[in-house]
Amino acid sequence: MAVEYVVVGEVGDLESGQVMVVEIDDYRIAVCNLDGTYYAIDDVCTHDGGPLDQGQLEGDEIECPRHGARFNVRTGAATMMPAVVPVATYPVVIEDDEVLVGLPA
């Protein structure tokens, strides 16, 4: 599958342990900084559609603020009930201090 990379910010925009949301076309993506490594996942809990960016990022998991479902931001895997379906993940690259997220072309 072809991927198109889109600039979503700069490295200094997001401190370690923080999450920011970007909206690109029909995508709402949570970009997470884990100790300088960036990950991107859909910003929608697969259990009830809640906004994951509003939850706590602890280690490599983000918790949905509505019912406590957890997702691994590296893999998208649902790691705690009530969610059982993973969230989509997107590749992230850093070029010249810009953070780019890869979306299906």
pLDDT, tens digit, 9 for 90 and up, residues 38-96:
999 999 999 989 999 999 999 999 999 989 999 999 999 999 999 999 999 999 999 99
pTM strictly above 0.85: yes
pLDDT, position 99: 98
Q: Which backbone phi and psi does 54 adopt, to 5 degrees? A: -85, -5
Residue with tokens 């893999």: 75
Predicted confidence (pLDDT) per residue in 6-34, tens digit: 999 999 899 999 999 999 999 999 999 99
Tokens of 61: 């998991």
1 has pLDDT over 80: no
Residue 13 DSSP symbol: G
pLDDT, position 105: 87
Q: Are 99 and 81 in contact (CB under 8 A)?
A: no
CATH fourth-level superfamily of 3-104: Rieske [2Fe-2S] iron-sulphur domain (2.102.10.10)
Residue 1: count of CB within 10 angstroms of its CB: 5
- Reply yes or no: is the peptide bond before residue 82 cis, omega within 30 of 0: yes
Burial of 25 (0-12, 13-18, 19+ CB in 10 A): exposed
